[in-house]
């Protein structure tokens, strides 16, 4: 082992396991190289590695990591409308609260304070839970990307099940007759008999409609003016009723989109909300939003006995659990269902017939044996 100066730089030359090695001295002087040589001898004698120990990756702040996460993860894995929504929530809500904190310093108390602050600001529990979902995904991604932070189980706020409104056939007819403009009336008819979301109605193109085969295919959605794929990335085909066929055939074609303004440009959510507000007033029914047409479509199918899997396919749900939330049966249908259990008191019970006329032993709650009559 020796030290030498090469082009104004001091090095330590040595052989180890028959391999020649050369290490630059950290201190560029003869004395520094000699001390480094002594250090190398000591490490080799103890069997230690000569490579410097890896330095831990510094933990970023939330604002730094969320910016990186938004650009790398969200922009790659989400639809444009979701990207815009999550960027807005980060900018307006999460970053102002958590931004200066290092990821490893965010704890349960901070999250509870965030929930309390947003509740005090008047935000709905569902909205706050949406924020927490973004926060949780951001922190979990940091762990996946090997940042040395602990996993935090974020507790969502308890949210009451929202009431699901749907129209009766009578209210549906009154509302359809109450629109001022044919474009809105046709759009309401299509929504009522196809279950399309508002963004899917905005994005419906003439090329997506097969009038010959009486069906349409949902291929795109327009949300906040951004064209994207349908929710859950699922195309679906929906048969068309005669009323929908008539409504579509009566529409003028002003461009690629089916439902447009008179100049062929796309409709907006504000226009749609204003139109349905005035239609409800003229029809004399409770104010509703466009999503109630989707509820009504699913509820009427369910009340009519349509299999739940068929309703799921028509709505484009990824989970049948979501479909079941939309299929609400009318009170009269519930009464009819329970009425099946009623029997004529002068006749033997259904259990008597189901057992071939035999009386079966039955134990009461106190364990006393009797017979089923």
Report the pLDDT averaged over residues 228-243: 88
d(CA 156, CA 152): 12
If asked whether residues 140 and 238 sit together in one domain, one would say no
If asked whether residues 281 and 233 sit together in one domain, one would say yes
Helix axes 80-89, 125-144, angle to 10 degrees: 100
Confidence of residue 226 (pLDDT cuts 50, 70, 90): confident
- What is the per-residue pLDDT across 95-152, written as a single tens digit (0 to 9) for each? 999 999 999 999 999 999 999 999 999 999 999 999 999 999 999 999 999 888 888 8
If asked whether residues 274 and 185 sit together in one domain, one would say yes
- What is the per-residue pLDDT across 293-323, written as a single tens digit (0 to 9) for each? 999 999 888 888 888 889 899 999 888 888 8
If asked whether residues 211 and 271 sit together in one domain, one would say yes
Report the pLDDT averaged over residues 326-355: 56
Which segment, 77-86, 157-166, 339-348, is predicted with the most confidence on average?
Answer: 77-86
- What is the per-residue pLDDT across 10-35, written as a single tens digit (0 to 9) for each? 888 877 777 777 888 888 888 888 88
Confidence of residue 337 (pLDDT cuts 50, 70, 90): low
If asked whether residues 130 and 223 sit together in one domain, one would say no
Quick one: pLDDT at residue 140? Answer: 95
Quick one: pLDDT at residue 289? Answer: 93
If asked whether residues 228 and 177 sit together in one domain, one would say yes
Residue 330 or residue 183, greater confidence: 183
Quick one: pLDDT at residue 364? Answer: 43
If asked whether residues 11 and 124 sit together in one domain, one would say no
Instruction: Quote the mean pLDDT of the chain.
Output: 85
The reply to whether 336 falls in a domain is: no
Q: What is the span of the domain harbouring residue 367?
A: 343-373
Quick one: pLDDT at residue 323? Answer: 83
DSSP-derived secondary structure for 93-130: IIHHHHTTSBGGG--HHHHHHHHHHHHHTT--HHHHHH
Quick one: pLDDT at residue 260? Answer: 92
Which single residue is written with the structure tokens 């349908």? 230
Least confident of 167-181, 200-214, 340-354: 340-354
| DSSP alpha helix (H) spans, the chain | 30-46, 62-69, 75-77, 80-89, 95-98, 108-120, 125-144, 169-176, 182-194, 198-203, 242-249, 269-283, 291-303, 308-315, 320-326, 331-339, 350-354
Q: What percent of the chain has pLDDT over 90?
A: 50
Q: Is the pLDDT of residue 42 over 90?
A: no
How many structural domains is the chain composed of? 4
- The rounded Cα 233 to chain-centroid distance in angstroms is 11
Report the pLDDT averaged over residues 55-59: 76
Report the pLDDT averaged over residues 69-91: 91
If asked whether residues 180 and 103 sit together in one domain, one would say no
pTM for the whole thing? 0.65
3-state secondary structure of 225: coil
If asked whether residues 192 and 269 sit together in one domain, one would say yes
Quick one: pLDDT at residue 367? Answer: 45
The reply to whether 28 falls in a domain is: yes
3-state secondary structure of 319: coil
If asked whether residues 309 and 178 sit together in one domain, one would say yes
Report the pLDDT averaged over residues 246-274: 92
| Nearest to 186, CA basis, from 247, 269, 277, 272 | 247
The reply to whether 69 falls in a domain is: yes
């Amino acid at each position: 082992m020796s030290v030498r100066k090469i082009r104004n730089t001091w090095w330590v030359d040595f052989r180890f396991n028959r391999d020649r090695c050369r290490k630059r001295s950290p201190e560029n002087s003869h004395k520094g190289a000699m001390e480094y040589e002594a250090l190398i001898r000591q490490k080799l004698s103890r069997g230690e590695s000569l490579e410097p120990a890896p330095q831990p990756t510094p933990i970023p702040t939330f604002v730094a990591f969320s910016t990186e996460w938004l650009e790398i993860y969200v922009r790659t894995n989400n639809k444009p409308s979701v990207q815009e929504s999550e960027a807005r929530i980060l900018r307006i809500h999460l970053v102002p609260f958590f931004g200066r904190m290092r990821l490893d310093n965010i704890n349960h108390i901070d999250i509870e304070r965030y929930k309390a602050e947003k509740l005090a600001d008047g935000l709905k529990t569902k909205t706050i839970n949406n924020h927490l979902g973004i926060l949780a995904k951001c922190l979990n991604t940091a762990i996946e990307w090997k940042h040395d932070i602990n996993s935090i189980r974020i507790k969502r706020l308890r949210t009451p099940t929202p009431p699901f409104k749907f129209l009766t056939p009578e209210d549906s007819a009154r509302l359809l007759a109450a629109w001022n403009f044919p474009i809105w009336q046709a759009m309401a008819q299509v929504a009522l008999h196809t279950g399309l979301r508002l963004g899917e109605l905005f994005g419906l193109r003439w090329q997506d409609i097969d009038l010959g085969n009486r069906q349409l295919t949902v291929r795109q959605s327009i949300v906040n003016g951004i064209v994207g794929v349908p929710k859950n990335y699922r195309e679906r085909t929906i048969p068309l009723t005669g009323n929908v066929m008539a409504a579509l055939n009566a529409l003028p074609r002003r461009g690629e989109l089916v439902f447009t303004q008179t100049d062929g440009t796309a409709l907006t959510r504000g226009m749609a909300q204003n139109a349905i507000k005035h239609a409800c007033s003229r029809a004399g029914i409770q104010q509703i939003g466009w999503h109630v047409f989707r509820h009504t479509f699913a509820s009427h199918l369910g009340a009519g006995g349509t299999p739940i899997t068929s309703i799921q396919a028509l709505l484009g749900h990824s989970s049948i659990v979501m479909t079941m939330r939309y299929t609400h049966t009318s009170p009269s249908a519930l009464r009819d269902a329970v009425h099946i259990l009623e029997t004529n008191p002068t006749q033997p019970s259904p259990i008597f017939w189901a057992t071939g006329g035999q009386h079966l032993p039955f134990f009461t709650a106190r364990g006393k044996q009797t017979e089923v009559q």
